[in-house]
Structure 1
Amino acid sequence: MKVLGIDPGLRNMGWGVIEMDGPRLRHIANGVIHSDGADDLGARLSTLFRGLCAVITAHAPDAAAVEQTFVNKDATGTLKLGQARGIALLAPAEAGIAVGEYAPNAVKKTVVGVGHAAKEQVQHMVRVQLPGVRFDSPDAADALAIAICHARHLQGRTLRIAPSRSGAA
C-alpha cells in the first residue's frame, strides 16, 4: 500500500510517498510544490492543486494524510494556510483517496515518541525509518513524517481487526 503525506503550505507544499509492506516502510519519492508569492491567491491555489494532482497521478497512492492546521499569531496567515490545507484535502479526495488528518504533536509522537520533538529529531527519525532517504526540503521531510504517522495508524488498525491466528475465540 502506498501512502501520500502532505504538509500544507501556501508557498511550499511538501509531499512524500512511502510504501507499506507489512511492518516495513519504504521511501518512494518526496518533493515540494511551490507557488509564486507574487501571484494572486487563486492562481497560487491552482498551482498547488495541479501540482498535487500530478503527484497523485504519478505515484498512485492508496491512502493520504494531511497535517492539521495550527493557529498562527497572524489571522490572515492562518486563513491562507487553511486554504492551502483545503487543496491538500481536495486533491486526494477528488482522486477517490481517503484522507487522514493528524495534529502536529500526533505526528511527532508517532515518529519520534515525543509530541514536542524538534524538527531535527523528526528528520532524524524519518531517516532511521526510511533508510537512504534524501529530502527535497524540510517541507518534504515533514510530509514523509505525516505519511509514516498515517502508515503506523493504518497498521495498528489492521492489527486490531485481524482475526487471531491461534484459533481461540
Structure 2
Amino acid sequence: MLTAMRILGIDPGLAHTGFAVIDFDGQASRLLAAGQITTPAELPLPQRLKQIHDGLVAVIQEWSPDVAALENLYFCTNVRTAISVAQGRGVAILSTAQANIPLAEYSPLEIKLAVAGYGKATKQQIQKMVKTILNLESVPASDHVADSMAVALCHAHSQRYQNMIIASGVEQGVLPRRRKSRRR
C-alpha cells in the first residue's frame, strides 16, 4: 500500500503556468510550495516556452516530485487560447518526461468532482475547497495557482481510492457479476 507521495500539480499556459507541490500521506495532503511562472507577451514564443521549461525544471529539481498531474486539454472556442495552452502543456509534459516523472492527466470534470464533489463547480468554489482541504489562510490569489493545487489534489484523491481498492483486495477494473433474475 502507498504510504507517501509527492505530487506536482501543473496548470499549463503560455502567459501563466501554475504549479503546486503537495505531500500526500495516503489520507491527507499538505502544501509544500506553489507559484506561477509568468512569461512576458513581448518575448518571442521560443523564449517564452524556454522560460516555462526552465521554471518547471527548477521546481522539479528543488522538490523531487514522485508524480506530476496535469489537466487534459479541454474544448476551447478560442483557437488562439487553445494553441497557447497546448504549447504550455507540451512544455510541461516534456519537463516531467525529462525527469522521468510519471504523469497523470485528468479532465476538468474529474478535477472538479474530486475537489468540490460537483462536476460543474465554479472557479470560486474550487478555490474555496482548495483553501479548506489544504488548510490555507486564504484562497490562492492566482487562478492558475489554485488550478494547479486542484489538479494535484485530484491525483491525491484518485490515489486514496486506489489505496482503498488495493487494501480491500478487489481486482481493479473487474466488476462483480450480476446475478440473473429468475423471472418466469
TM-score between both structures, scaled by the size of structure 2? 0.84
125, 129, 144: which is aligned to 2:149? 144
Instruction: Give, in angstroms, the shift of residue 79 of structure 1.
Output: 1.6
Instruction: Give, in angstroms, the shift of residue 136 of structure 1.
Output: 5.2
In the alignment, the residues of structure 1 paired with residue 133 and residue 24 of structure 2 have an alpha-carbon distance, to the nearest angstrom, of 12
Aligned length: 164
* Pair 71,131 (structure 1): closer, same or farther in 2 beyond 3 Å: same
Please give the residue correspondences for 1:7-156 in structure 2 after superposition, counting only pairs within 5 Å: 7-132=11-136, 135=140, 137-156=142-161
Q: Which runs of 5+ in 2 are unaligned?
A: 170-184
In the alignment, the residues of structure 1 paired with residue 33 and residue 137 of structure 2 have an alpha-carbon distance, to the nearest angstrom, of 9
Indicate the RMSD between aligned Cα atoms, in angstroms: 1.4
Structure 2 counterpart of 1:151, which letter? A
3, 6, 10: which is aligned to 1:6? 10
Instruction: Give, in angstroms, the shift of residue 41 of structure 1.
Output: 1.1
Comparing 85-94 with 7-16, greater Cα deviation is found at 85-94
Q: Which runs of 5+ in 1 are unaligned?
A: 165-169
- Secondary structure, in 3 states, of the residue corresponding to 2:89? helix
Highest RCO, 1 vs 2 (Cα 8 Å, sep ≥ 6) = 1
